Copies of this chain bind each other. A is one copy, B any other.
Amino acid sequence: MTSARPITIKDIAKRFHCSPSTVSRALNDHPAINEDTRRNIKEYALEVGYQKNEVSLSLLNKKTATLGVVVPSIGHYYETAVIEGLHAVLQPLGYTLNICVTNENYLLEKEYLTKLLSNRIEGIFLSVAQETYDAGYYEHLEQVNQRHTPLIFIDREYETFETSRATVDDYHGAFAAVEHLIQMGYRHIAHLKGPNGLTVTEQRFKGYIDCLRKYNLDISEELIINTNFKVESAIVPTKRLLDLPLPPDAIFGVNDQVAIGAMRVAKDRGLRIPQDIGLVGFDNSPITAYTYPSLTTVGRPGRKIGMEASRLFLNQLNASEDFRHENIVLPAELIIRESTLRLS
């Protein structure tokens, strides 16, 4: 039963005993149409709720005004901030965003890319899934290149893949976080690392390591444990850390979620934060300002990343022959709160 056939321009043409061309021109205010004809047609169109079929227009103009946004999840603050930034720039320009969530799944990511290309979207913003990283797959990106569809990496990227990207300087963000811990007098600093292989994970890890090196602090394997970005994935690792003969006096979490998980475990153990143990997260998600104690964290300008990524896309669209891919890296900002502010 569902769909009563939508009114078409032909239907209107029949009603007025004129040709579809006339109706089209009338609706688009073409000057070479009689004033009365135009008015009548427009009134009637409004009355019957005519809506132009964008599908046919897309076919005709080879333009869909649609962009794909392919991300592993939309549950975290950063991702939604990026999407908001994309939206802020691109929606006013008439673009529709087609948001696809891969759930960290490679096959789904591939399927989405194919589907988006089949649907003739005009550009893709991609943060690659974890599985894609793990397996080192990237053939599914070739089809995008082959079609010369602009591809912009956001957040999670392939370092070796030649395309534009807008990312955050995770390395220096992490470095600053650990340096801050050191300046606060913490010396035995653990890291709840993300899943191995992801650029964000490894960059933050590298920042952590390099900072320890700079200050001649020991790097201990047992102080580095993987998590999967979720709160609950921090619980067991944190317990293991605190059970060590020489437990850490600070924990740097790969994101806010795991830092909050660690906070919970530390409090359960009766540890005082920041006196007994310091905690740092990453992302500056809204909640971090209101945990107790509030969480020191590294802010990522997600909205700005989205806006920069949009700019990269637009540049590529209007680019000349000698177009070179751009690499935008925005700084991360250390936000000092109570969880590390111990007056030594």
| Contact of A263 with B287 in the complex, beta carbons under 8 Å | no
Q: Which of B96, B101, B261 contacts A83 (CB 8 A)?
A: B101
Segment with Cβ contacts to B, from A172-180, A275-283, A317-325: A317-325
CA–CA, A73 and B79, complex, Å = 12
Q: Which of B2, B54, B91, B286 contacts A231 (CB 8 A)?
A: B286
| Contact of A289 with B231 in the complex, beta carbons under 8 Å | yes
| Contact of B83 with A74 in the complex, beta carbons under 8 Å | yes
The reply on A246 being an interface residue by CB < 8 A is no
Q: How large is the interface on A (under 10, 10 to 19, 20 to 34, 35 or more residues)?
A: 35 or more
A1 and B320 in contact (CB under 8 A), knowing A120-B6, A231-B290? yes
Segment with Cβ contacts to B, from A23-31, A110-118, A181-189, A209-217: A110-118
Q: List 21 A-B contacts (CB under 8 A).
A: A1-B148, A1-B319, A1-B323, A6-B120, A49-B143, A51-B143, A55-B55, A74-B80, A74-B83, A83-B101, A96-B100, A99-B99, A230-B286, A231-B286, A231-B289, A232-B289, A257-B287, A260-B291, A263-B290, A264-B292, A264-B294
Contacts A97-B100, A257-B287 known; list 14 others, CB within 8 Å. Answer: A2-B319, A49-B147, A51-B147, A54-B119, A55-B58, A74-B74, A83-B101, A230-B286, A232-B286, A232-B289, A260-B291, A264-B294, A268-B292, A287-B287
Instruction: Give A contacts to B, CB under 8 Å.
Output: 1-4, 6, 49, 51-56, 58-59, 64, 73-75, 77, 80, 83-84, 87, 91, 96-101, 103, 108, 114-115, 117-120, 122, 143, 146-150, 230-232, 235, 257, 260-261, 263-264, 267-268, 286-287, 289-292, 294, 316-317, 319-321, 323
